[in-house]
Structure 1
Amino acid sequence: MAPDARAQFLTMFPSIMLPMFLAVVDQTIVATALPAIAASLGEVDRLSWIVVSYLVATTVAAPVYGRLGDLLGRRRLMLVALGIFIGASVLCALARSIETLTVARVLQGAGGGGLMTLSQALVGEAIPPRERARYQGYLAAVAVSSNAFGPVAGGFLTQHFGWPSVFLVNVPIGIAAAFLALRLPARPGNREPFRFDVLGLFLFAAFITSALIALERARVFVAAGGYGFPLLIVLAAVAAVFLIWRERRARSPLLPIPLLQHAAIWRCDAMAACHGGMLVSLITFLPLYFGIVHGTSASTTGLLMLPMTAGIGIGSLVTGRIVSRTGRTAIFPSVGMTIVASVLALIAFAAPFLPPVSIAAIFGATAIFMGSVMGVVQLTVQLASGPKQLGAGAATVQFSRSLGAALGTALVGTVLFATLAATSPEASAGFARILEGGPGTLATLGAAERQAIREGLDLAFRNAFLCTAVFSGFAAILAWTLPIRRL
């Protein structure tokens, strides 16, 4: 690396890496803390709110920061997002009910969505396209490794310092990130005439929120019926129709409809959604599988997630370097996600016969191919968006990925609980008690009940793993049909 390039790297990369790390790790750091949170706050049936609320908020916030960053300057918006994120993290640690924790997670996501979007746009703003591939590889490695590292850090912190520590750890890291962000060049925005699309934001939030709550309530509807689920689906559909109508007519639309109609951009956004759904679902539910089916502790579960963390980071870094040298892009996620979909389908049926160490090793090897997606997606969208719409283009990827992660997590959770409820109501009730009391609760149950829970969970997690395989399969199809295949 030349001296000038090295100086640019040392200025840029730490300043955008740390905010990205903070925002992404908080999507999953609570996964291994969920049993402890349930034991402390109760209301196990609302645990998914803690994960989904953050994903909803980051999804809604991403296009807002993308649009404002293009207009007002991205470093300024980065500092605002960091302030919101740090303050909300303190509120999360102080929460004494699931409802207040959920509200604090919404505020935290409102900051986190900006950190992710602005980090990606800052790379596109400062780095030439060929070099950008290497930086996007680094950032993708940080992003997806942070996703996988979250449960590891969450398990360690929860076991040794209690669940509030998974939020308080953000405070010193966030302050350090703010000081590093001050090193970034303060470029002005494009200063174009602008009127914020308040109605578009309201319709977008209504669509995202109603769709995700509908999926969260779907397992209750499957078990008991009722009108809540269908009404939420209708509300989401109506909000989506009016949102599209509004954005096509707004002078300064929140969502860049012309960009979303570009063949390469909508395929990349859909690929990011499928990848986010697959990865965050695995990171959310794999710790539960290890902890409940195999009885591992929180810290041991975190260690079992380490191979996936390492594999994703290696895959992202290697993909970024090869793209930078060869100029080839789409072939890597095309092959990578085909392999991932095949392995996930196989592990869905083989997992009951494998020890946890073998499962962790298989996921670690497969994660190398999972790491081939996000760097290519970001680079392709930035090239297709052009320099004037870098923020808007980066925002489409971010809200697509966050939306996919939220929908995917909710859908896999619905499949998991619905399978348990349909197979054995006793197993479903026992699973809820284990979530609330931790894996140790399994030892207090009778032999027949333990056996029913294990059998029910084998089938439930098989269906959950198959869902993630379907997400990966769709991502592979999109990658094979991507029209931009080289720089």
Structure 2
Amino acid sequence: MASQSTVTEDAHSGARREFFTLFPSIMLPMFLAVVDQTIVATALPAIAESFGDVERISWVVISYLVAATIAAPVYGRLGDALGRRRLMFIAIAIFMVASLVCAASVNLMMLVAGRVLQGFGGGGLMTLSQALVGEAVPPRARARFQGYLASVAVTSSMFGPVAGGFLTQYFGWPSIFLVNIPVGFAAIALVTRVKSRPTGARAGRFDAGGLGLFAAFVASFLIMLEQAQKLDAALLPSILTLIAVTVLAAIVLVWRELRAPDPLFPVHVFRNPSIWRCDLLASCHGAVLVSLITYLPIYLRVTRDASAGEIGVFLLPMMACVGIGSMTTGQIVSRTGRAAIMPSVGLMVVAFGMAVLGFAADHMTNLQLSLALAVTSLFIGTVMGVVQVTVQTAAGPAMLGTAAASVQFSRSLGAAFGAATIGAILFAVLTILDPQATAIFAKLFEPTGDPLTGVSKDAIAMVQGDIRFAFNVCFLTISAIAAGASALAWSIPMRRI
């Protein structure tokens, strides 16, 4: 008994030593990946005011997520075959170059193009960081150390809204991208300390055809959602064409991956019910969190006249609570081994919290709204750590990178789908209630002059009511997604790790 205890203690000590040797080197890449979403979300109203075209402003977020979705399985597959340390350098370099492109953008299309490139880099940062931890630390210990990874999420999530608000208000929105450059150089310096390890997977032929089909599926699906939000009959042929392309790309992708000798998405991995259900859960989590942080700043700007700095302070407790929830979940899972129960219960609370906002947000003070979002966000944090550990454990060492990538691309795809869907619902509800409401809502973000010149006060008051109602519908939609995710979490077969 004493000998067994000594072996357990030695194993724990070895895992701890391995993790803390690695942790400083993956900390900054993870910081860049997490902070980029929250710091950009705070600046969205300012970007809309600079370029106009508020109907497409969500593409500043969605374009990044689309590219990250496409890139994640590539990094996972190549990381398994070629080594994750080498690919981390490439991902950071792409991310930094793209940040310069974003900062230099002169119109929305250039900014979106820069964000696509940034997503190709950012898609590897979280995927490779999680996979590096997975190859160094045993499964049960990973749950404990997810708390430390969550501390990075806490710090970056807290830094993002405040820094984004401050930089946008005093130095302009391009500064939120320029701040990535010095951090990126520091990240490269730290990654040089990471040990190269054998990956346990052979280097096969890269599945470029699978990647092309996957890119076609993701891009056509999200462009279809963007066009559908306009409720314009003239766009119906285009929408139907995009639906056909989406379905065809999905069918051919599945057919190819079943037959490819070295598939981008190894089908045998995704046949495991714990893995595919966790990936679906990651998609729902991405849809809930990213759609919320994308449209909440716009809601605060339009309905509560909040400045960029005020929006940042408003989001601070919300993003901090996501990280705190993740840290707490990691500790509980590590001590008890019970994993799936955490998101199962947590997402039920999220669904209830978002439903409350959908019915009562208009009657809340700023403090009450901030507290409600903070409590809801605490339980949003119960998901991703559990999903990562469960998928990595179920996949095994040889498929570690592919498994980590599957979670990341699922989350990114869900986030892009969620942001696009919520945007489509927002503008569809406004158009149904009053076509003038959509025009006035867009005018609120005109880059020059008084946006509401020539609009009567009665019309403005009526439209503000319509806008509030449309956002309430969006909150209720997010609640429905969270409820579905909770049901999915209850169905995960691997309840313990």
Q: TM-score, with normalisation over the residues of structure 2?
A: 0.93
Query: Which residue matches 1:243?
Result: 253
Q: Provide the residue aligned with 2:105 in structure 1.
A: 95
- The question of whether the paired residues in 2 share the 8 Å contact of 1:308 and 1:363 is answered with yes
Asked whether 1:307 is paired with 2:320, we answer no
- Aligned pairs for 1:4-15 (under 5 A) are 7-15=17-25
**CA-CA distance at 1:449 after TM superposition:** 2.6
Q: 1:288 aligns with which of 284, 298, 301?
A: 298
Amino acid at match of 2:446: E
**Kept in 2: contact 1:278–1:408 (CA 8 A):** yes
- Distance verdict in 2 for CA 1:458–1:69, change over 3 Å: same
In structure 1, give the amino acid aligned to 2:409: F
- Going from structure 1 to structure 2, the CA distance change for 1:368 and 1:442 (only over 3 Å counts) comes to farther
- In the alignment, what sits opposite 1:29? 39
Is residue 2:480 matched to residue 1:476? no
Which residue of structure 2 lines up, in the alignment, with residue 455 of structure 1?
465
Deviations 1:152-190 (A, max 9, x none): 332221111111111111111111111111111111344
> Could you list the per-position Cα deviations for residues 276-299 of structure 1 after superposition, in whole angstroms to 9, with x for gaps in the alignment?
000000101111111110111110
Paired residues of 2:76 and 2:128 also in contact (CA < 8 A) = yes
Match of 2:3 in 1: none
Tell me, what secondary structure is at the counterpart of 1:251? coil
In the aligned structure 2, how far is the partner of 1:350 from the partner of 1:476?
23
Matched residue, 2:272 = 262
- Aligned equivalent of 1:205: 215
1:355 corresponds to which residue? 365
Structure 1 CA distance, aligned partners of 2:30 and 2:419? 21
Pairs within 5 Å for 1:82-481: 82-140=92-150, 142-143=152-153, 146=156, 150-190=160-200, 192-221=202-231, 225-437=235-447, 446-481=456-491
Give the Cα–Cα distance (whole angstroms) in 1 for the partners of residues 421 and 373 of structure 2. Answer: 21
One-letter amino acid matched to 2:297: P
Q: CA deviation at 1:45?
A: 3.3
Q: 1:40 Cα shift?
A: 2.8
TM-score, structure 1 normalization:
0.95
Contact map agreement 1:315 1:372 (CA 8 A) in 2: yes
1:251 Cα deviation from its structure 2 partner: 0.6
Q: Identity over aligned residues, as a percent?
A: 55
- Give runs of aligned pairs for residues 65-80 of structure 1, distance below 5 A: 65-80=75-90
Q: 1:22 to 1:113 in 2, by over 3 A?
A: same
Task: Report if aligned partners of 1:268, 1:377 keep a CA contact under 8 Å in 2.
Answer: yes
Matching residue's letter, 2:412: S
Pick from 2, 17, 20 the counterpart of residue 30 of structure 2. 20
Name which of structure 1's ranges 117-126 and 30-39 shifts more when overlaid on structure 2: 30-39
Structure 2: gaps spanning 5 or more residues: 1-8
Would you say how many aligned residue pairs link Structure 1 and Structure 2? 487
Tell me the alpha carbon deviations over residues 200-250 of structure 1, each in whole angstroms, 9 at most, x when there is no partner: 110000000000111111111357653222211111111001100111111
1:276·1:402 contact (CA, 8 Å) conserved in 2? yes
How far apart are residue 51 of structure 1 and its match? 1.4
1:138 CA displacement: 3.0
1:62 aligns with 2:86: no
The Cα of 1:308 is off from its aligned counterpart by: 0.7
What residue number does 2:6 align with? none
The residue type equivalent to 2:377 in the other structure is A
Shift of 1:440: 8.5
Q: Do structure 1's residue 44 and structure 2's residue 54 form an aligned pair?
A: yes
Bigger shift: residues 185-194 or 388-397: 185-194
Alpha-carbon RMSD across the aligned residues, in angstroms, is: 2.1
Give the letter for the 1:466 counterpart: L
The Cα offsets for residues 382-404 of structure 1, whole Å up to 9 and x where unpaired, read as 00000000000001100000000
Give the counterpart letter for 2:277 in structure 1.
R
Contact 2:422 2:474 survives alignment (8 Å): yes
Cα distance 1:327–1:55, how it changes in 2: closer, same or farther (>3 A)?
same
Displacement after TM superposition at 1:140 (Å)? 4.2
Distance 1:119 1:328, change over 3 A: same
Alignment CA distance shift 1:217-1:144 (3 Å): farther
